[in-house]
Amino acid sequence: MQIVWKHIIRNIMANKLRSFIIVASLSLSTIILYSTMTIGDNVVEKYTESLLEVYQEYDIQIAHEDSTRFDLDDLNIGDEFKGSTLSVTTALGNYNYVTDKYDKNIDVVFIGTDREKLISDGLITLSSSREDWDDNENKQIIISKNTSERYGIELSDTILVTTSNGDIEYTVKAIAENTGYASQEVSSSLYVYVTQSEAEENSIIGVDFILMNLSEGINVDSYIEEFNINNEGYEASALVNYDEINQSINSTKQILTIILVCVIGINFFVISSFTKLLLATRTPVLGTFRSVGASKFIVNMVLILENIVYGLIGGALGIILALLLNAKIVEEFIGYEGVANVVNIGYIVLALLFSVVLQVCIVITSIIKTNKIDIISSVFNKVDVSATSSWKQFSIGIILFATSIILYFSNNNYNYILAVLALLCAIIGGALMVTKIAKVLVDVITGKMNNGPIRMGIKNVSHSKITQTNVNLVSSMLAILLLIYILSMSISSFFSGAIETINADYLISGMKENVEKYDFLEENTDIENYRIIYFEAGKADINSKEYYNFQIVGMNEATEGIKDPSDHFSELNNNEILVDKIFAKKNDLLVGDVVLLASEMLTEEVEFTILGYIDAGSFNSTRQLFIINEETYFKYVSKVPKMIFINTTTVSDEVYFKLYDDTYQYDLTLVTGDEYIGVQEKSIDGVMQLIYIMFILSFILAFVGIINNLLIGFLQHQKEYAILLSTAMSKLQVKKMIFTEIVFSFIISCILGGALSLWLSKILELILYSINIGVSIDINIMSILFVLLAVLVVLSMTFFVPNHKLKKMDIVNQIKGEE
């Protein structure tokens, strides 16, 4: 066994560059697979970590369904409950914030609770406090550092707050860090932490909600289900909603899966070409092994073991890189910052196993075919390199490609699995058909060629086994690479189009009142016009089916990227809705259907009738939304706008600061149109960069794979070249023949690969729709032709490899078989 291991290690080290490329290919696949598997754990860990910072060990929040006050004694919490609770009562007041520049009333939010428990349980952390500070003393308050800095309130300061019991003076006796419960504070209000009894003095007796810390061993979901059954009118909810997290990252997982499929496809062609080269150079050695008594099984096992080592090295390197880069990859894809890098031993083992199995599956066919060669042919390297065109292979390709077409056109509801199957059938079917199609094209063209070297070069494309393999390799890989390129261009075009629909100089958000409250919109003479956008986003139940990040939009006309070619808005009545055509098709929603919509965004459950379809791709990329008219929106949702788009007479610093003063009085957020666009573009920059990186890496791997195929071809044809040079052709003519063979094979590859990519892009659009990404694939023929031309030029440069080998070849020794 020691001899076998030495043989394997020597072979790996003897081909360092090729070994490195194989390992790099496997590592790339392993990184993407590991990221796909761990993205859920990473995001859940980050989400849980942020909630733990706020709620620490508390698991559940309990509130009354009607938001009425209640008491802990009103609840049936179960005899087995041995955990702890924290009751919270909120009340409102008003604080007159006066500075040299501002004189405005600020909402004061009283957080009334057991402050001693609040601190001991880690929900807030004091950064400073007075010596006479008392947890249970009224009129003594805690504020956060944010509040202290925002309103200039220091330790020991007193503030006068108008409450339901009149004007009351409170003294700041402690200041808390901006962490934990205090991290939830919003900038528009002044939060003060008081005793529960003091909050109740300024409100109705009772608590708004209770936090519960369940005992060790109690299942949160089971407890919530039992509690909700035993406490009618009350609702317990988990502080960490794993279903919502998984729903939000599901699309990202599916995108990574698609990328993984593409990368595996590229790996297959690259690694298989390397394997053929390695086996071609070692055929005499393998024949010698068999001639001295080694069985085919033993030789196969040695080669498979060697590739297991490749898989282990590639997988291990991929896992190391994944552990270093995984958090960054996930951050770029989902837009979270500070994502936890969870190390999952089970996933590491699976990723390592995947790398090994992938490598063995890719090479097993080549290994078996090599060992089927008889011993004499192997020892003397007399391997038949002539190509045979297989009608059986072509027929299977036709069937798979036809299956792809059937799956595409029958997938009326955007089923993800069917769409991915259509993609795989198209890629595999296209690869199987390429050889026969290339032969037909060659036969047609060679019949019209008179120039000897050129004719021979073109003819070799269909008669040389390795050149046909090259055509297959380049066609299939180019189709996948172009698919990645088309996807990146489509995403870029989609977001550019969506951004252009904004068409505003400034955007305002953070409204808490009806638009009439903000009088500056009419009084500010710099404002030329403004558009009000009404929508809410959240969880919704549509006919008892749950949707997360669903939007309810109030709109009377098509605007902000909404396309309505049939002018449905002019007919939209109360309790009628418009639905995005993709969302409707995926969920079997037809015009005239009545849907029951239930959501916390609505004041009550409402039945709506579908009036028609619109295209909301530029308004919301997930297309998960219902559009109702503004009157219905005001009735069931709110009269508070979500955003206001403003156009001014001029764009200048003076106009900006004047508008800033206006919005600051109402605690609104003001951004310029350019700033808003920058944020949107930044949100996709990471994804686009990853796509571009994969495109470049894939092309490099493909390029190296092609060079290796050319080396295989040269090794298999070098005796033929030597005979031609010694009898019938000059070196220039042989070079012309080789160059013609290479360039013509690439021309055919570009044609077939480009044609296949167009069909793959249509399937990709279907896949994107199936995962709620409403990006229409934009096929720019001129752009694709330019890429194909650039690829053709780059690939043609590979001629220098056989040209260099030809210069170094010893004709006499090659003919004698001594080289």
Mean pLDDT over each residue of the chain, to the nearest integer: 79
What is the structure's pLDDT at 576?
92
* Average pLDDT rounded to a whole number, residues 780-793: 83
Question: Is residue 424 very low, low, confident or very high in pLDDT (cuts 50, 70, 90)?
Answer: confident
- pLDDT greater than 60 at residue 425: yes
> What span, in angstroms and rounded, lies between the C-alpha atoms of 271 and 447?
35
Choice between 130 and 202, residue whose per-residue pLDDT is larger: 130
Whole-angstrom Cα distance, residue 703 to residue 698?
A: 9
146-160, 291-305, 363-377, 654-668 — most confident range? 146-160
Q: What is the pLDDT of residues 662-672, one digit of tens each?
A: 887 777 888 88
First to last CA, the chain: 32
Contact present, 23 and 323 (Cβ < 8 Å) = no
User: What value does the mean pLDDT take over residues 793-811?
Assistant: 75
Among 59, 525, 68, 42, which residue's Cα sits nearest to residue 256? 42
| Predicted confidence (pLDDT) per residue in 498-514, tens digit | 666 677 888 988 888 88
Residue type, 569: F
Q: How far is CA 68 from the centre of its chain?
A: 41
pLDDT at 457: 73
Distance CA 195, CA 755 (A): 72
- b/e per residue, 48-63, with b = 16+ CB within 10 A? eeeeeebbbebbbbbb
Query: Is the pTM value of this prediction over 0.75?
Result: no
pLDDT in tens, 241-256: 666 666 656 666 666 6
The string of pLDDT tens digits covering residues 678-701 is 665 655 555 566 666 666 666 676
Buried b (16+ CB within 10 A) or exposed e, 352-384: bebbbebbbebbeebbeebbebeeeebbebbbe
* Residue 608 pLDDT level (bands cut at 50, 70, 90): very high
How high is the pLDDT of residue 175?
93
Most confident of 66-75, 509-518, 710-719: 509-518
Q: Spell out the residues 6+ positions from residue 188 whose beta carbon is closer than 8 angstroms to its own.
A: 107, 510, 512, 667
Gap between the Cα atoms of 489 and 688, Å rounded:
9
Task: Taking the CA atoms of 561, 563, 567 and 571 in sequence, report the sign of the dihedral they define.
Answer: negative
> In the predicted model, is pLDDT for residue 628 greater than 80?
yes
CA angle, 264 as apex, 262 and 268 as ends, to 5°?
120
Secondary structure string (H, E, C) spanning 707-767: HHHHHHHHHHHHHHHHHHHHHCCCHHHHHHHHHHHHHHHHHHHHHHHHHHHHHHHHHHHHH
Strand, coil or helix: what is 192?
A: strand
Relative to beta strand 166-176, strand 126-129 is antiparallel
Rounded CA-CA distance 819/812 in Å is: 9
Average of per-residue pLDDT across 44-59: 69
Q: Can you state the percent helix, strand and coil of the chain, rounding each to 5?
A: 60, 20, 25
As beta bridge partners, residue 480 has none
Q: Report yes or no: 267 and 29 within 8 Å, Cβ to Cβ.
A: yes
Residue 315 reports pLDDT greater than 80? yes
Q: Give one DSSP letter per residue of 448-482, joined into a string.
A: T---HHHHHHHHHHHHBHHHHHHHHHHHHHHHHHH
Mean pLDDT value of segment 358-375:
77
**Comparison of pLDDT for 607 and 66, the residue scoring more:** 607
